[in-house]
Amino acid sequence: MNTERARFEVEPYIEYLKLLARLQATVRIKVKLDTSDVIQQTLLRVDAKREEFRGHSEEEWVGWLRTILANTLTELYGAIDTKDCDKVREQPIQSSLEDSASGIKECFTVQQTTRSHKGSRYEQLILLAAALAQLPFDQREAVELHHLMGLTIAEVGQRMDKTRLDAMGLIFLGLKQLREILSNEGR
């Protein structure tokens, strides 16, 4: 029996982790966490704990990365002392991250139903996260809120301090640019 563990790199998953961290910050509190700080802390933990990874598959690797991200977020949210955090501390971040990850997978699957499926679903998620990161901030936020978090257009506008029409325009432009980015990537 081969007991050698698979070795996976972290670099391809950074934009995916950033996306999950942004979604959690949006779900949990109104205080903005700096995603780059969250990811830096997460990557330091991944590096320090790399030898503890016992999985063999990409799915196990991505799950392990999400667990470390959840632990990092739990610690950071625990350090924020606001009334907004009290009610969300009761909700486990790990399960919320799993919900976000499932939402991203589902959104990508729906977007890809008419295209050929090249690469693993994690490769596709990595591409989607990288493409989202290329969008202008307002467009990215609107697309994430509407398509990944399931908010209505009116709720997106409210969350972003925009009119419903402005939110709709941001979502439309964001999706258009997202399609262009993905088609330029050959997906």
Cβ atoms of residues 179 and 132 within 8 Å: no
Mean pLDDT of the 82-95 span: 50
| DSSP three-state, residue 122 | helix
In the prediction, which pLDDT does 148 show? 84
Which helix or strand (DSSP H or E) is residue 147 part of? Answer: none
Distance CA 27, CA 154 (A): 17
Q: What is the pLDDT of residues 112-162, one digit of tens each?
A: 444 444 556 778 888 888 999 999 999 999 999 998 888 899 999 999 999
pLDDT surpassing 80 at residue 2: no
In the prediction, which pLDDT does 169 show? 96
| Lowest mean pLDDT segment, chosen from 16-25, 44-53, 64-73 | 16-25
Helix 14-28, helix 121-134: angle, nearest 10: 70
- DSSP code of residue 144: I
Distance CA 187, CA 180 (A): 10
Instruction: Report the predicted TM-score, pTM, of the whole model to 2 decimal places.
Output: 0.72
Kindly list the structural domains of the chain, giving each domain's residue range(s) and its CATH number in brackets, ordered by start.
1-134 (no CATH), 135-187 (1.10.10)
Cβ neighbours of 187 (radius 10 Å): 20
Mean model confidence pLDDT for the chain: 78
In the prediction, which pLDDT does 73 show? 83
Q: What is the pLDDT of residues 13-35, one digit of tens each?
A: 999 899 888 887 665 554 556 78
Distance CA 31, CA 82 (A): 9
As given in the structure block, the two tokens for residue 49 are: 């704990």
